[in-house]
A and B are shown apart, each in its own frame.
Chain A
Amino acid sequence: MDILQQLSFGFTVALDPINLLLCFIGVLFGTLVGVLPGLGPAASISLLLPITFKIDPVGAIIMLSGIYYGAMYGGSTTSILVNVPGEAASVVTTFDGYQMARQGRAGPALGIAAFGSFIAGTLSIVGLMLLAPPLVRIALKFGPPEYFSLMVLGILMVIFLTSGSIIKALMTATFGFLLSSVGQDIFTSKLRYTLGIFELSDGIGVVPVVMGLFGIAEVMINLETKLKTQDIYKEKISGLLPTLQDWIVSKWAIARGSIIGFFLGILPGGGALIASFVSYAIEKKVSKHPERFGKGAIEGVAGPESANNAACGGAFIPLLTLGIPANAVMAILLGALMIHNIIPGPFLMAKHPDLFWGVICSMYIGNGMLLILNLPLIPLWVQVLKVPYPILFPLILLICLVGVYTLNNSMVEMIIMILFGIIGYLLKKFEYEAAPLILALVLGNMLEPSLRRSLIMSNGSFTIFFTRPISLAFMIITAILLISPLILKAMGKRRMVVANDD
């Protein structure tokens, strides 16, 4: 089937009334999540995850994906109006977006953010559509050693691109792998680390862990300080359409942001946050007037907002084609697919073309819905921002509790969620990232079997990872990644020595 045929099939699936409704619910909820600080896409997807078990897997993934890219749209609203990022990838938008609002240009800032997001989102979906099929053909040549090497590379990339300490990220990742080993061993059926608890024989579920780490822990962190309402931009917002001058200034920022975001989104550990920072840095670098940045430069809004939306499309590529999540949100989506008994990877396109092409096409539709939702509904989102956190957090906790209960009617899973809420709180306090833990928890169930199968295939020799060309390529990149900090450190010291000699 060629691309056009596949696309028309995908649109048939995406335009099904139920799937359209689920797409709308996803993007609406995603925008809401993006607008509300303190509730990110990861937590929100995990909150809605249990509800998706009652619906068709295609519709479920359409809805959950809608939350992800919807949150990128919504995040810009609080960044511009309140100087508080609605979600992490919108941090950069506060630099110039809020300044524009203070200059009475909140409307054009919001408008260019929405249009830039739409253009970048659409372009990234085109990229996804064109890149995915050839990648699938390559991935069909993968065996257990290639998957093992790729997963090791993927998790290490996430760790090395983390904003915090690398050694701490390595620690949380290995802890995630340890947690993935809880349950019944698939090779020998032996129970591992279940402590005699029957519910743990199937392992520790991703949903309770995610809801604990991102939902409960976030509430606990927010409760540390006295709860207060936001200080919101009070002027009437007018003129949402950017002027011709705004478009002239922003067009290349949007184009560059789209490309940067898309390719960074593909890389494990890349993602929307890094894409937005890189885009901002590049826009400032190429600008003829870099001194304008931080004082209301519209390119400082257009570029990063385009980048973070493009990264969403890019992030789907490794998930759908290789079954490797590029970030924590993709890891949760992977968990959702596996719960529906769908294994993403090179066979997904062949075995579940409705899901593969349906999700891609629904993203085109979802981007259009978001553009329509975001501009006229801004006054509504401003009202939503006024919902006090003391009212919001009990609802978040209740949704977490009920959501986990509805999975398997299990008290044990509810307790696991609460315990991971405490763990998540402590991880934040002691400055550890939770994302590597989630990634490792999800990847561990694939990494361990790949490792053991590879060793069985090679009669116990680890050289199998270095003798197969694709696996060797991944291992070389992994080695470069591991030694690059040491090389950079040595180069830094050398420069200091040279400078001192001068």
Chain B
Amino acid sequence: MKKHINLISSSAWMVVAGIFCLGGIRLGLGSYDEPGPGFFPFLMSVFLFSFSLILFISSLKKVKQLNVIVSSRFWPESDGIKRILFVVVSLFMYVFVLNYLGFVLTTFFFMFFLLRVIHPHKWITVFLGAGLTAGLSYAIFELWLKAHLPVGPLGF
């Protein structure tokens, strides 16, 4: 099991190293007595590629069957995957609507979603929790800490 996840992860790291390596060459390596802007990233990407290759080869030696990618137990149960995906989507949505709806409304809907959809609470808990959180966080960050949060169509 571990060997498969190591094959996948080391391959991904090799791709990352390759991207940074090409970027470093384009930036210019300079010379040893005057290293260029690409020198350090190039050096680090070579190290990363080498370490990834070592992991890849050592994992390959232990793999008997390459057609099994990951066992079903590696990833969480389907409910868990759903919860995680919902949270990630809600985080991105928060960022994208923040400037349109303003801080208070966005926070209210964000908390509403998490309290109702991810782990369902009673409606009263959801409304109270979302409202209180939005209000308190506005008071703390905007009024007390003067954080200048985005303003929405309601003026806050």
Contacts and interface: CB of A to CB of B under 8 A. Distances in A.
Contact of B121 (A390, A414, A461): A390
Contacts of A168: 55
Interface in A164-179: 167-168, 170-171, 174-175, 177-178
Interface residues of B, number: 65
Contacts of A225: 76-77, 80
Interface residues of A, number: 58
A170 to B, nearest CB: 5
A167 B51 contact: yes
Nearest to A400: B91
Contacts of B87: 219-220, 223, 397
B95 A414 contact: yes
Mostly, the B contact residues are: helix
Interface of A: 51, 54, 167-168, 170-171, 174-175, 177-178, 181, 185, 187-188, 190, 192-193, 216, 219-220, 223-227, 390-391, 393-395, 397-398, 401-402, 405-406, 409, 411, 414-415, 418, 421-422, 425, 429-432, 448, 451-452, 455-456, 458-462
B37 A174 contact: no
Nearest to B95: A414
Contacts of B44: 174, 177-178, 181
A460 B87 CA distance: 50
Contact of B111 (A177, A394, A461): A394
A409 B148 contact: yes
Mostly, the A contact residues are: helix
Which of B41, B84, B92, B103 has the most A CB atoms < 10 Å from its CB? B41
Contact of A181 (B41, B75, B77, B80): B41
A190 B27 contact: yes
Given A405-B149, A411-B95, A432 B9 contact: yes
B88 interface: yes
B37 A391 contact: no
A222 to B, nearest CB: 10
Interface string B112-136: 0011001101000000010001000
A426 to B, nearest CB: 8
A224 B77 CA distance: 7
Nearest to A412: B95
A451 B40 contact: yes
